[in-house]
Structure 1
């Protein structure tokens, strides 16, 4: 059976880079179980020419399998192993936009872009939707939009909420400037949202196409982000609006979460417990919700109980737990909404 080798993209973040091989193996397992037509075997870390690779055996990969593997979050190149030689296979990632959409913004507490892509990948695959579909992605705690931008890279529509007005303003300004600098045909506006004449939030609405012709033909992507409390998501979005919901929960270190009383909570699960029933109502039947969180703030059993109490089915996934720093050990949990 043919053997293949994945060369891992060097990570700018040293700590994440140290975990990237193991995380790639886990992500590859999800791809194999839920996306690829080929069955993978003998997945392992292999050193070739002094460089670490993730290698695996599989029946002959077809073009669709190679295209799917091109979107692994940390993959740099894919090779077929032929004796002592590596034959490169043509990579065809989904990325529609420039990578600077993900990398320009730098700020304390920003989620690693590779991890964001991993989280989105495994959540979409859990939903059963094709990775190359035109999906609606919602990040209910979107911060400055790393998840939203990754969704846009894939051609998805991106929706978000965040209570931090500074983050909302930073993302709104960045996205409008980026679209203008790239000379992409678009419309963008920030509008007040009122209920019973009272201001309840602000909303960024963006529509853009890759060309003027695409805009005219309706081949566009949508972005809608609301500056408001995520627990009030039903006030801004209709039920069953989103194919997938993906969020990196506050870690309770640099970013605390606020409970109903308004005080700062060090446990991300305090906010998630209040918000998940709202998020679940916004998820379409058959859709998936992926949450990453700091395990020092709550166990897998605790989070699983919260998701299941909202009517979601927790999926059995490989190990994605990894060390971020002395106060953060991050993990992923994905749950689906019954069709």
Structure 2
């Protein structure tokens, strides 16, 4: 048996920082259940030098393998990993290289009201990837991601950080424009080889929406070889997703449901977002999800997974699990997947639900 400890990444968000220890333990539990064959034991915490660490052990005599280290390096809040001598209370650094291809400012530079915490976005993407039939595909960068209510692109940025092809949809034109401007500017300032274009989507003499597309090279050599990361965003209602994306073309669908505070959903699922005029917005996301999840499921490959975060004040877990089950999805409901509820502020207690497409 080998013992390990890792330091949790500091968070600028005080409330999230308080929840981070419990959240990353739950995330580690999912990794262990889905990708490590239950090899990790004794997941807990210890205070070393006055600082809290997450601790765990491997069963048997062996240390973590290279593949296991590659996987655990991507835990959302892992800052530094150590081999831990419990008797001596000493730590030996262990090299952990995450998938990250780009500077962290891709995730952190955008600041706006209502932005989802970057560490939680990474956690949601991770545990959804673990719910697929091929959790190890994350390490091969072989997953294609859809965020069907992408806002200003936090999920898309995390997918790009991992080197995953991704796509997003959002009905809000201002969010669409803001994200396209941000990414163009970031790519230019980062001096990354890329192509980017945007324009209307027309079919049968009708304008259906707008599309922003980018092909990005992690470095010049890979770009020259044609090894690019594809990203596209469509400015249209998520219920129209079938008109823009092929069936069974994504491995992951990852999104934040409207929290019912700054953003609501149209009754009957007719869109997302806030604003003045038009029908009154519903604080509960259930109607929207009941209409949208069957659409998203068609776009998901068999063996793929959907992960949704939501505000428990406006919808119950069983209610959302029922919506996913009605669409023919298998909800991941083990103890590991029930450890993610946490407070965001007085009006939001966030949780996540994940389901697999048979």
Mapped to 1, the partners of 2:26 and 2:152 lie a distance apart of 27
Alignment partner of 1:220 is 2:228: yes
Per the alignment, in what secondary structure is the counterpart of residue 218 of structure 2? coil
Shift of 1:185: 1.0
Instruction: Give CA deviations for 1:228-270 in whole Å, capped at 9, x if unaligned.
Output: 0001100110100101000011101011222338431111122
Aligned residues of 1:304 and 1:314 also touching (Cα < 8 A): yes
Give the paired residue count.
Answer: 338
Q: Which of the numbers 114, 120, 138 marks the counterpart of 1:115?
A: 120
Higher alpha-carbon deviation: 110-119 or 314-323 = 314-323
Instruction: Write the mapping of 1:7-156 to structure 2, written as runs, cut at 5 A.
Output: 7-36=7-36, 39-59=39-59, 60-82=63-85, 83-127=88-132, 128-130=134-136, 131-133=138-140, 134-156=142-164
1:1-339 pair list within 5 angstroms = 1-36=1-36, 39-59=39-59, 60-82=63-85, 83-127=88-132, 128-130=134-136, 131-133=138-140, 134-259=142-267, 260=270, 262-316=279-333, 317-338=337-358
* Distance across 2 between alignment mates of 1:76 and 1:318: 24
Alpha-carbon distance, 1:301 to partner: 0.9
Structure 1 residue matching 2:131: 3-state secondary structure: helix
User: Within 1, Cα distance between the matches of 2:150 and 2:143?
Assistant: 17
**Post-superposition offset of 1:38:** 6.5
Give secondary structure in 1 for the equivalent of 2:96. coil
Secondary structure at 1:286 match in 2: strand
Q: Which runs of 5+ in 2 are unaligned?
A: 271-277
Query: Is there any run of 5+ residues in structure 1 with no aligned partner, and where?
Result: none
User: Which whole-Å deviations, capped at 9, do the CAs of 1:163-186 have from their partners, x for residues lacking one?
Assistant: 000000000001011111111111
> Where does structure 1 differ by over 6 angstroms across 4 or more consecutive aligned residues?
none
Q: Equivalents in 1 of 2:125, 2:295: separation in Å?
A: 20
Q: TM-score, normalised by structure 2?
A: 0.92
Contact preservation (8 Å) 1:38, 1:61: no
SS in 1 for 2:69: helix
Aligned partners of 1:324 and 1:147: how far apart in 2?
18
8 Å contact kept, 2:342–2:349: yes
